[in-house]
Amino acid sequence: MHTVELYKEFRFDAAHFLPHAPDGHPNKRMHGHSFRVSVFMRGAPNAETGLLQDLQEVNEAIAKVHDLLDHNTLNEIAGLEVPTLENLSIFIFNALADALPTLYKVGVHRDSLHEGCEYGVLGFFRPKTTIIAESPAIRGLQEGIAFSEVHIYTNFG
């Protein structure tokens, strides 16, 4: 059995502010970014179809998230009241998890600033599970899943 990693990217533009930034900090004010999101799926392709995940299903799941985020104020979306890169990557992962059973990792990038954040599961496979909490803050805690730490990277090159 071979393991493959499949990915799909999408872009959106949105405004936000960081409500807990100190007074006078530029991120305390409303501003916007162009975001690039990488959605990674991992596992063994189906022996009959040769597919890990039907890309039409991936496109449909991504379209719902894109429509929710694009050209909106992120702070006004339930679960994104504090729209940091960290919270945004977790939010998008959780929004896609039910529709994409092979979802492994989500990366959110602000290319113009050479920075981003990745969030995903430990190990290669995410077992089918039942959501044990519906709160956006803890929705990612599912039976049998150990979530990795949030990875933040900045490229100064």
Residue 23 carries which DSSP code? T
Specify whether the CB–CB gap between 97 and 106 falls below 8 A: no
Of 48-57, 84-93, 97-106, 114-123, the one with minimum mean pLDDT is 114-123
Give percent of the chain with pLDDT exceeding 90.
Answer: 75
**pLDDT for residue 80 is more than 70:** yes
Of residues 28, 99, 30, 87, the one with CA closest to residue 60? 99
Question: How many residues can be counted in the chain?
Answer: 157
Question: So what's the pLDDT on residue 122?
Answer: 61
> What's the pTM value of the predicted model, to 2 decimals?
0.79
How far apart, in whole angstroms, are the C-alpha atoms of residue 64 and residue 141? 22
Out of 40-49, 114-123, 141-150, give the one with best mean pLDDT. 40-49
Q: In the chain, what are the domain boundaries?
A: 4-148
Question: So what's the pLDDT on residue 148?
Answer: 43
Residue 10 CB: number of other CB atoms within 10 A?
Answer: 18
Q: In the predicted model, what is the mean pLDDT of residues 62-80? A: 98
First to last CA, the chain: 39
What fold characterizes domain 4-148? Tetrahydropterin Synthase; Chain A (3.30.479)
**pLDDT for residue 12 is more than 90:** yes
What 3-state DSSP class applies to 111? Answer: helix
**pLDDT for residue 57 is more than 50:** yes
Q: How confident is the model at residue 121 (pLDDT cuts 50, 70, 90)?
A: confident
Question: So what's the pLDDT on residue 133?
Answer: 36
How far apart, in whole angstroms, are the C-alpha atoms of residue 66 and residue 145? 25
Question: So what's the pLDDT on residue 111?
Answer: 95
